[in-house]
Amino acid sequence: MANFAYRVFSEVAKQKTFVSAANILNVTPSAISHSISGLEEELGFALFVRNRTGIMLTPDGEKVLPIVQEILNSEAKLNEEAARIKGLNQGSIRIGAFSSVCINWLPDVINAFKKKYPEVEISVRQGAFNEVAESVRFGSLEIGFSALPIQEKLSVLPLYKDRIYCVAPEGFVPENGKTVVASDVCDETFILQQIDYDRDTKKALDAFHVSLNSIQYSIDDASIIAMVESGLGFGILPELALQKLSGRVVCYPFDGNFYRTICLVSHAKSQQTPSTQVFIEEVQTYLDKRYGKKRL
């Protein structure tokens, strides 16, 4: 089976400290240091350099990390396939997703999957778009739900165009009665999550000439609804996030085609375990039933 030093290398690259990696792998920090030193001696070059905040990969370390991760993924695939040959349905899937997917999609998908494969262990970690994609790249997650564009070198499967809406206090009606135009919001304060601002939300705000001085930030989608309900400003939320939120607010689409494209990120199919491949198929089946032709 794969050299333990490969697991150490992968975990240190993810955690960025020997101590944190040691805690995860249940060994001492000195064992981590010894393992990394041995691997560096075997390879003939340094994998990490130290800085004030911890350690970081060297350029050579960046090059070999995907190869090492592929070896570890292949080992997991081998173990699971061996179990399947012996008549077992075992394995594990680590999934990352942002809030609205965790709330609206994953419960149904996981329940359907578990009915077919009850022995497969599933864990879910909630995180922001970039955090999820990076965790998949480093191998701490098998599957991630994120939004385009994806900068990491991963397999990307577009799933659904999630339209972005303007959320306003009860009683608000746009000039044309149907969609929000620039004159409706030119003097309004907008409340949003900071992690969303550099993506599709920013495109909508820029199109309607909303300045940075008119933006406030909140913790989560429910908090945005509460603040809008209290008359503190307008919000911007995608359709999926609005489905299980309620309050004395009204929602209108913007005048224009503003949406975020939700996608699924994973490693190449050749590196996926059988259970991961089947789970991805379950996601597609669920979305086909829920959205039909609207699914990408």
SS3 string, the chain, reads: CCCHHHHHHHHHHHHCCHHHHHHHHCCCHHHHHHHHHHHHHHHCCCCEEEECCEEEECHHHHHHHHHHHHHHHHHHHHHHHHHHHCCCCCEEEEEEECHHHHHHCHHHHHHHHHHHCCCEEEEEEECCHHHHHHHHHHCCCCEEEEECCCCCCCEEEEEEEEEEEEEEECCCCCCCCCCECHHHHCCCCEEEEHHHCCCHHHHHHHHCCCCHHHEEEECCHHHHHHHHHCCCCEEEEEHHHHCCCCCCEEEEEECCCCEEEEEEEECCHHHCCHHHHHHHHHHHHHHHHHHHHHEC
**CATH number for the segment(s) 1-63:** 1.10.10.10
Domain locations in the chain as residue ranges? 1-63, 159-258
pLDDT given at position 190: 87
pLDDT given at position 12: 93
pLDDT given at position 192: 82
Gap between the Cα atoms of 255 and 253, Å rounded: 7
**36: closest CA among 67, 61, 59?**
61
Note the Cα 257 to chain centre separation in Å: 24
pLDDT given at position 91: 77
> Hey, how many other C-beta atoms are within 10 angstroms of the C-beta on 92?
15
pLDDT lower than 50: segments of the chain: 87
pLDDT given at position 85: 65
**Per the structure block, which two tokens stand in for 156?**
């990307």
pLDDT given at position 199: 67
What CATH number does domain 159-258 carry, 3.40.50.620, 3.40.190.10, 2.40.390.10, 2.40.50.140? 3.40.190.10
**Per the structure block, which two tokens stand in for 214?**
């008119």
Question: First vs last Cα of the chain: how many Å apart?
Answer: 39
Give the pLDDT confidence of 69-126 residue by residue, as tens digits.
Answer: 999 988 888 888 777 766 456 778 999 999 999 999 999 999 999 998 888 899 999 9
Backbone φ and ψ for 66, nearest 5 degrees, come out as -60, -35
**Per the structure block, which two tokens stand in for 114?**
């578990």
pTM score of the predicted model: 0.72
Residue type, 15: Q
Q: Kindly provide the b/e burial profile for residues 176-202, where b requires at least 16 CB atoms within 10 angstroms of the residue's own CB.
A: eeeebeeebbeebebbbbeebbeebbe
